[in-house]
């Protein structure tokens, strides 16, 4: 489709809305770099959805384990991808 196709534009907007929501949650949680955290969390979400569609019946549990690690890291230090986030 691409970014100029109406469906591509709609998809991009929807994904940005999800990241914005995640960023708001990260801000409320006091995470140092909510945007970078939201991008990382979103990658985790998308990856687990794709893995589940590929037949990985444990994808949600694997994602939960990684999510716990991300939250623990965010609670103790600045997010490692803070300097590398893309607008």
> What is the domain partition of the chain in residue ranges?
6-84
pLDDT at res. 3: 82
pLDDT at res. 80: 54
Q: Sorting pLDDT into bands at 50, 70 and 90, what band is 74?
A: confident
Q: Does position 61 have pLDDT exceeding 60, yes or no? A: yes
Q: Does position 77 have pLDDT exceeding 80, yes or no? A: no
DSSP the chain: --TTSHHHHHHHHHHHHHHHHHHHHHHHTT-SSHHHHHHHHHHHHHHHHHHHHTT-TTHHHHHHHHHHHHHHHHHHS--TTGGG---
The predicted model scores a pTM of 0.79
């Amino acid at each position: 489709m691409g970014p100029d196709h109406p469906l591509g534009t709609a998809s991009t907007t929807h994904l940005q809305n999800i990241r914005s929501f995640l960023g708001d949650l990260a801000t409320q949680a006091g995470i140092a770099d909510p945007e970078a955290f939201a991008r990382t969390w979103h990658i985790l979400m998308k990856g687990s959805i794709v893995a589940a569609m590929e037949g990985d019946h444990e994808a949600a549990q694997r994602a939960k384990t990684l999510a716990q690690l991300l939250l623990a890291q965010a609670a103790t230090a600045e997010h490692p991808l803070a300097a590398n986030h893309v607008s």
